[in-house]
Amino acid sequence: MGAFNIPVIVGSTRRGRQTPKVARFIERRLVERDGIEADLLDLAEYDFPIMEERLRLRDDPPPGLTEFSERVARADALVIVTPEYNGGYPGVLKNALDYLLPEYHRKPVGIISVSAGPWGGLRALAQLRQVVLSLGALPIPANFPVRHVQSSFDEAGETEDPAYEKSAERFIDELLWYTEALAARRALDPK
């Protein structure tokens, strides 16, 4: 089996957003592992309009949506880095996720939640797990809450807190376990 392809979805498009710092951090830690290809799927670059209909039911997809679909379809697993807004995940993230469906089928999804406060966006994590199940994908059990994101990561996506390095290792180990298991099983039953 070739390298596993694991895109990292950046779930914030806010002006002055902090989430890309954490996305860069986990992208780098993924790429450092043998047998993983990772890159950022940045919703701010796609700038999708409010969803009027799902991709598969449209013959006039908005710019970038077909490419977004192909990247998710090609993925063996996804990482979603989501901030917490008012106790949930951002609308822009749900809007983008809702455009697709078969592309997610039976793939593992690791969720990293980000907040400015002390709880690391755990409410956004819980809500997004429910949504991921409805997409036909599998949220992995490991969590990765990032607290006080303004000060815990720098612009380059580095942290001086060894606890986050440990979290990343555990999170990636878990994600890879599910990625390998589900990829092997999907290969027996491709659809």
Ligand X SMILES: Cc1cc2nc3c(=O)[nH]c(=O)nc-3n(C[C@H](O)[C@H](O)[C@H](O)COP(=O)(O)O)c2cc1C
Binding stretches for ligand X (CB under 6 A): 12, 14, 17-19, 83-87, 114-117, 119, 121, 149
Query: Which residue, 132 or 149, has its beta carbon nearer to ligand X?
Result: 149
Query: Which residue, 47 or 169, has its beta carbon nearer to ligand X?
Result: 47
Q: How far apart are CA 58 and CA 103, in angstroms?
A: 16
Smallest distance, ligand X to C-beta of residue 77, A: 22
**In degrees rounded to 5, what are phi and psi of residue 95?**
-55, -45
Query: Which residue, 117 or 136, has its beta carbon nearer to ligand X?
Result: 117
Query: Which residue, 21 or 29, has its beta carbon nearer to ligand X?
Result: 21
If phi > 0 it is left, if psi is from -120 to 50 it is alpha, else beta; for residue 120 that is: left
Q: How far apart are CA 168 and CA 25, in angstroms?
A: 9
Smallest distance, ligand X to C-beta of residue 180, A: 31
Query: Which residue, 63 or 91, has its beta carbon nearer to ligand X?
Result: 91
Strand partners, 108: 138
Smallest distance, ligand X to C-beta of residue 95, A: 15
Smallest distance, ligand X to C-beta of residue 107, A: 24
Pairing of strands 8-10, 40-42: parallel
Smallest distance, ligand X to C-beta of residue 83, A: 3
Place of tokens 């949930």: 88
Question: Could you tell me the end-to-end alpha-carbon distance of the chain, in angstroms, rounded to an integer?
Answer: 18
Distances (CA, A) of 141 to 29, 105, 111, 169: 19, 18, 9, 14
Smallest distance, ligand X to C-beta of residue 136, A: 27
Strands (E), the chain: 4-5, 8-10, 36-37, 40-42, 78-83, 108-114, 138-139, 144-146
Query: Which residue, 59 or 86, has its beta carbon nearer to ligand X?
Result: 86
